[in-house]
Each structure stands twice: as C-alpha cells, then as structure tokens.
Amino acid sequence: MNQTGDKHMKKSFQLKSLVLSMAVAGAASLAVVPATSQAGVSANIGAVSNYIFRGVEQTESASASAGLDYENDSGFYLGTWVADVETGLEYDLYGGWSGSIGEVSLGLGATTFRYTDTAFDYPYNEVNASLGYGMFTIGYDKGVYEDPAGDIDYDHKYIGVEYGSFGVTVGMLDGDLDADDDALTYVDVGYSTELSAGLEGSVTYTYVSPEDSDLDSDTFLVFGVSKSFDIM
C-alpha cells in the first residue's frame, strides 16, 4: 500500500480482526467451545479524536461510528460497522466463527470494507484469522484491494498483549505484496476505562515506521469514547 498520501491507497483494512488458521489438527479429541454463551444482538456507538487503523491515518479530525452485531450460540457472528471518513462514509460487513479448545481461543472470519461514492477509497475484501492463549493473540489478515487499475494483494500480521485495562499491538501491514518498500510496522499502546455505566473511554498512542527509508516515521495520540448495549 502506498503510504505517500494517495487518497485511494490510504485505507489499511479492518477493525474487527478475529482469528488464525488452526494449527491444532491433532486436537480432534478436545472439545471445541463456542466463544459466546448465548445468542444476542448488540449495538455500539463511538467517536475518536482521529481515526487511525493499522498505522494508517483515515481522518485528520474526529470520526464518529456505529455498529450492529449478532452472535449465535454456536460461536458464529455477523455484523456491520459504519464510520465517518470526512468525505463520506466507510461501511464494513463481517462474519465468521470464534471459539476455544481448552485455553486456546481461535476463529475464522471474513470482512469487506466499502465506501460511499463521496469517500476517498475503493473496496477491500479480506479473510481474517487469529489464535489466542492467555493475554496473547496472534493474527493474520489476507486481502485484495479493488483498485480500478487492477486488484492489489495485501496482508497484515500482528501480535497483541492485553493486561487488565492496558493493551499493546505490534503489527506489520504490507499494502502491496509486489512492492518491496510498500510495508509499514506500527505499535499501538492503549488504555481503556469505564467512565460511567456502559460508557468507556480510551487513549491510544501509535508509532508508525515505514519500510521505505525515504519516508519519515509518524506518531498519533487518539482519544475515544464508546458505548455498547444489548438489543435482544
């Protein structure tokens, strides 16, 4: 992905990364437990001071968002998420399955990122995978960017650590697998806390280091608020 400012190459894919291919083929004798205990529909609303995704700036100002999710007893889920991207709207659709084998959490899903006609980008379609144990999660996302000049393959890999209200993610995004200098590495360090019943506040510091030595590293400090609630 071009990180030099081309609006049609700014997007860096996916807010709902769940899931890694199951290197647990020998675990057939273990019980697979769905990640959710009961079916339900929930919604969320939120706002951030600056929308940063996988180390790439999506807006230069505040962004509001809203989402709707359905989770099944079996661990299957479907959802949608919409965000303001200044010149239009981003709307994401995603689905998949998540569960656990003993203390190992796993899942597999797919996400499509779409934009209204006035927004700055074209669609992205990807498969998402993650594997977790305790406070650690590793993930891999593989996708295709629908550039009018021709589809572009990309991938994103990351490792995350959560401890209480703190979280750290180290990721690498390669926006064009055919270009040697089109990757970036980013580090997110975040803290979240409950501001009031059902209302959560967060602060995230992001450091971004482009693979291309001609480009400067960048940093962002993002403040956010969000609220989730059950519908049924």
How many folded domains does the chain comprise? 1
Residue 4 has pLDDT above 90, yes or no: no
Residue 215 pLDDT class (50, 70, 90 cuts):
confident
Q: Phi and psi dihedrals of 81, rounded to 5? A: -145, 135
**196 is in which domain, residue-wise?**
7-22+39-230
Within a domain: 63? yes
Residue 197 pLDDT class (50, 70, 90 cuts):
confident
pLDDT: which is higher, 29 or 103? 103
pTM of the predicted protein model:
0.83
Within a domain: 147? yes
* Confidence (pLDDT) at 120: 84
3-state secondary structure (DSSP) of residue 8: helix
85 neighbors 92 (Cβ within 8 angstroms) = no
Average pLDDT over residues 135-159: 96
